[in-house]
Structure 1
């Protein structure tokens, strides 16, 4: 992307957050609004709902567009300095995966290129690596092998961003207010089968939504740090032993503390019967090591990880207590 001439090089300028009403995007918007010593940037939020949503704050402009209809994107990047792309489709419809996560990314990048947007930050997923075990690999040390249409299409979206000189962030498990996938899925597992496979306490990479949003906001504000192309693992640099995660679920949410007396085969069979839509890949993500070296992101963003997992997770108690079992 070319450096635009309409903004000072040291200023944040105008930031467009695609998917800014979603789980990650809304947190990025909050971080940009609350963390700037020199005042909040000029913010635009792009979503399919547009101005029909409740605005985050005065001065946040909501735009409606559909990534699968490139004609609706015309003009959304005018005078934008930084594009944060946090919109994705994570379902199992392969045609929609391709339309949103690959072709939709390319369509928005075309518009950003036409408007001479300087920087692009794309929120992807470590699921592009497929099933592990993965143990402490750096960004250049592991070859992506996506197993689902969603992950494969997001990898193609990544490629388009990198070709455009952008930054790609790959988080693994994200927890925090708004999470409807990670902790709720674990809660359903423990409710359906109140045990855990014996001798299975893997290490996993997690990051709180707040920490992820802080890192993105820091990259937005620091033009040098946000220069690409580059890929960063987005995780707490301290891999989390799964036993600590299970203990936190017990202490904070009252879920069963699994004794770990069941065999892996028996546990998997029980989960398959109770949760038939839970794939082998999803099961492996929580029963095998999946942790990644994320030091580069913290160094590049100039941020420090937040409190330990237990403290940050406990702060989300009210949100998770309201989620259906």
Structure 2
């Protein structure tokens, strides 16, 4: 047996227990995975078991009460033995985000195939994969539906996450493609915009690009709803997981000004001039990543109504809820972005 358990539990025997409504969250200490755990153990959902696959058992306040933590590594198939015993639905929220193609493939593609093989060994489990709209590659994307264009991923991360999608779909699972994800725990979206505002006090193309976003808590509700009602979506399908309202960049920055006190530029610059100014003020966010905010990346999402899951109160309310987190990470300056890991969020620019 290759699993280590939290909660002082003993090792399992070799025989798998019966499948129930239990849920396995892969990447349970990551940005999205930990939000899914909090939702699954909250008052709206209570599966009879919530298990989290992690690389390290969290301690103290990092641990979510009511979760059975087990350790394993997607790059080590032997360490996954038994993780799907007694599980009905697997929520796969783990990924590696970075430029190392070999590492991306080991975690995102091969790791997903290893997880699916373990699920199949114990009789097959419905898998929901959290992927990313970055698999579409270059934009602009305007009101894009899931079948409107073929993915053309442009980075090692996106290419290997598309491979993971293909494996999950072939196994009859479900793929979610969230766009930019924000909220408590976000080290990419809002911190990156804050950095750009500090480096260049203007918006590219006057901030007219429309951007799909989703709050991490709303994405977690969507995942929990899928775990409890998997029969409401056909096997082997892809769905966008974006809030229905896609604000312009200027509108979203104005919300950041209202809720977090960030500066709201009154002027805009043509993209070329903006990127030239950006290169004169070096920082952690690249010109390529900044350029992604200058073109429409707007994705239609109908999954909410299909599975009877409310879309939430909207971006202003969700930013208000996350204000304490953002004030902490944005003060006194934008912190260094977290190192890529196999539980990294699906929200960073690729």
* TM-score in terms of structure 2 length: 0.85
> Where in structure 2 are the equivalents of 1:151-300 lying within 5 Å?
151-275=158-282, 278-295=285-302, 297-300=303-306
| CA-CA distance at 1:22 after TM superposition | 0.7
Out of 38, 41, 46, the position equivalent to 1:33 is 41
Moved more, 195-204 or 68-77: 195-204
Quote the offset at 1:116 in angstroms. 1.6
Shift of 1:200: 3.7
Distance verdict in 2 for CA 1:205–1:194, change over 3 Å = same
Counterparts of 1:107 and 1:273, CA distance in 2: 45
Match of 1:65 in 2: 72
Q: Which one of the candidate residues 109, 112, 137 is aligned to 1:105? A: 112
Q: Does 1:18 align with 2:18?
A: no
CA positional deviation for 1:272: 2.7
CA shift for structure 1 position 167: 0.3
Q: Which has the higher contact order (CA 8 A, sep 6+)?
A: 2
Q: 1:53-132 to 2 correspondence within 5 Å?
A: 54-58=62-66, 60-132=67-139
Aligned pairs, number: 315
Cα distance in structure 2, aligned partners of 1:145 and 1:276: 28
Closer/same/farther in 2, CA of residues 260 and 66 from structure 1, 3 Å limit: same
Deviations 1:21-71 (A, max 9, x none): 11000111111111446x34301100111365743113x111111111111
Q: Do the aligned partners of 1:131 and 1:281 also contact (CA within 8 Å) in 2?
A: no
Q: What SS does the corresponding residue of 1:103 show, helix, strand or coil?
A: helix
3-state SS of 1:50 partner: coil
Which moved further from structure 2: 131-140 or 45-54? Answer: 45-54
Deviation, structure 1 residue 281: 4.2
Q: Deviation of residue 292 (structure 1)?
A: 0.7
- CA 1:252/1:52 → structure 2, altered by over 3 Å: closer, same or farther? closer
Report if the CA contact (8 A) 1:233-1:293 is conserved.
yes
Q: Deviations over 1:160-208 (max 9, x none)?
A: 0000000000011111100000000000000111111344411111111
Q: Is 1:140 matched with 2:147? A: yes
- Structure 2 spans left out of the alignment, 5+ residues: 1-15, 335-350
CA-to-aligned-CA distance 1:91-119 (integer Å, 9 cap, x gap) = 11111101100000101111011012331
Q: Quick one: distance in 1 between partners of 2:248 and 2:268?
A: 18
Residues of 2 paired with 1:198 and 1:288: CA distance? Answer: 9
SS of structure 2 residue aligned to 1:283: helix
Instruction: Report runs of 4+ in structure 1 exceeding 6 Å deviation.
Output: none
Q: 1:321 to 1:66 in 2, by over 3 A?
A: same
Specify the SS of the correspondent of 2:232. Answer: coil
Is residue 19–residue 87 contact of structure 2 (8 Å, CA) maintained in 1?
A: no
1:261/1:129 Cα in 2 relative to 1: closer, same or farther (>3 Å)? closer
Contact (CA 8 Å) 1:80, 1:115: kept in 2 or not? no
Separation (CA, whole Å) in 2 of partners of 1:16 and 1:159: 20
Moved more, 162-171 or 306-315: 306-315
- Aligned partners of 1:130 and 1:117: how far apart in 2? 32
Matching of residue 315 in structure 1 with residue 321 in structure 2: yes
TM, length-normalised to structure 1: 0.91
Residue 7 of structure 1 deviates from its aligned partner by 4.0
Structure 2 residue matching 1:305: 3-state secondary structure = coil
Could you say if the C-alpha distance between residues 118 and 68 of structure 1 is closer, same or farther in structure 2, counting changes exceeding 3 Å?
closer
Equivalent position to 2:18, from 6, 12, 15: 6
